[in-house]
Amino acid sequence: MATDWTFEVDGSDRLAYAYLVDDSGNYSRSYLVLDWGTREARVEWRHSSQTGATAHEWHGHQMALRLPANVDACLLTAWLQDRVNTLAAIAEGYESAWDGHNHIAGFSERASQLLDELGEAANEWTEGETLALPDGQGVWAASQWLYDSRHELVTATSTDEEIASTAERLDREAKAEGVRVDGAEDYLRSVREELREDAE
């Protein structure tokens, strides 16, 4: 049985798949997508308002498992590696057949049973914090992470170079705390523009 699965999961960066909320309160949800034909496991981001399955999922060629908030990429990689034989067995029992309208996925009895077991294993994600980063860690929008200190970090006369240097420093400091700040430089530039407008 071949176990040549490709994991497009960045296990070297534990913050790779953390939950991100933007200023409007909208957010992206991450899904683990398992492709039985290509033997690929990857993480995809979908906007929170997106509903329904893709055509590949609908016809059974892929399985999309919604991940919990603040997913630790290292734990997700380990979860996949622990199940590589199961993934391989499902892929071995998979076939695509034309039904006159669409290419539909079919599975052997054993593969179908393993698919059910895989879905049950993924239910652990919603029942606990199996794959999640600790509270307070993950990815933060710069406008949220830096809001209280924004006027201490930038002034109306701050140059682009100063802002870039400040953003780089803030990125380093946040990562040391297990946090990634998203869009720090752009946010600081917007604060500078607001201060300039107020001054005028």
- Note whether 14 and 110 are same-domain residues: yes
Task: State the pLDDT at residue 157.
Answer: 95
Q: CA-to-CA distance for 5 and 124, rounded, in angstroms?
A: 23
Per-residue pLDDT, averaged over 45-55, amounts to: 76
What radius of gyration do the chain's Cα atoms show?
A: 22
Determine the 3-state secondary structure of 135 from DSSP. coil
Domain boundary among 104, 127, 150: 127
Q: CA-to-CA distance for 7 and 71, rounded, in angstroms?
A: 15
Task: State the pLDDT at residue 200.
Answer: 83
Task: State the pLDDT at residue 1.
Answer: 46
One-letter identity of residue 195: L
- Note whether 36 and 116 are same-domain residues: yes
Which percentage of the chain shows pLDDT scores above 70? 90
Q: What is the pLDDT of residues 94-121, one digit of tens each?
A: 999 998 899 999 999 999 999 999 999 9
Residue 135 has pLDDT above 80, yes or no: no
Residue 57 lies in a domain: yes
Residue 72 has pLDDT above 50, yes or no: yes
- Note whether 111 and 15 are same-domain residues: yes
Segments forming the whole domain that contains residue 107: 6-127
Per-residue pLDDT, averaged over 112-137, amounts to: 84
- Note whether 15 and 98 are same-domain residues: yes
> Can you name the residues that pair with 180 across neighbouring β-strands?
139
Q: How many domains does the chain have?
A: 2
More confident position, 130 or 91? 91
Domain boundary among 127, 147, 166: 127
Task: Say which range, 1-10, 121-130, 138-147, has the weakest mean pLDDT.
Answer: 1-10
Structure tokens, 30: 């991450």
Q: What is the pLDDT of residues 138-181, one digit of tens each?
A: 888 888 899 999 999 999 999 999 999 999 999 999 888 888 88
Residue 122 has pLDDT above 50, yes or no: yes
- Note whether 70 and 163 are same-domain residues: no
Residue 28 lies in a domain: yes
154 burial class (0-12, 13-18, 19+ CB within 10 angstroms)? buried
Task: State the pLDDT at residue 23.
Answer: 47
Tell me the average pLDDT of the chain. Answer: 86
Q: CA-to-CA distance for 142 and 182, rounded, in angstroms?
A: 5
